[in-house]
């Protein structure tokens, strides 16, 4: 499962996924769930949101979790910021 809280606004985000994920939007949170993703496989979720001119820089944090034990839980969260030029 991957969860992102980037989206806030009246328009719905455009979501593209691979690997058979299903994504839902609840308030500012987009959650994508892969019911089956074999070990060492990858799944991708791309979320496009409208840019609001009042915002100069937007940061997002994504967290990934699994129903099985992860031997390397330190790499399950990633953050990125983008700014308007």
Q: Taking a C-beta distance cutoff of 8 angstroms, is the pair 59, 26 a contact?
A: no
- What does the block give as tokens for 37? 């993703």
In this predicted structure, what is the pLDDT of residue 31? 85
With cut-offs at 50, 70 and 90, classify the pLDDT of residue 5. low
In this predicted structure, what is the pLDDT of residue 54? 61
With cut-offs at 50, 70 and 90, classify the pLDDT of residue 6. low
Threshold 0.75, pTM exceeds: no
The b/e string for 14-49 (b: 16+ C-beta within 10 A; e otherwise) is ebebeeebebeeeeeebbbbbeeeeeeeebebebeb
First to last CA, the chain: 32
In the predicted structure, residue 19 carries a pLDDT above the cut 80:
no
CA 41 to chain centre: 17
In the predicted structure, residue 50 carries a pLDDT above the cut 60:
yes
Q: Taking a C-beta distance cutoff of 8 angstroms, is the pair 34, 43 a contact?
A: yes
In this predicted structure, what is the pLDDT of residue 10? 52
DSSP 9: S
């Amino acid at each position: 499962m991957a969860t992102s809280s980037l989206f806030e606004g009246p328009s719905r985000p455009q979501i593209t996924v691979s690997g058979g994920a299903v994504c839902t939007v609840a308030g500012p949170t987009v959650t994508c769930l892969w019911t089956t993703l074999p070990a060492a496989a990858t799944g991708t979720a791309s979320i496009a949101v409208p840019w609001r001119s009042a915002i100069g820089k937007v940061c997002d944090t994504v967290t990934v979790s699994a129903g099985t034990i992860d031997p390397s839980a330190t790499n399950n969260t990633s953050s990125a910021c983008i700014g308007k030029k």
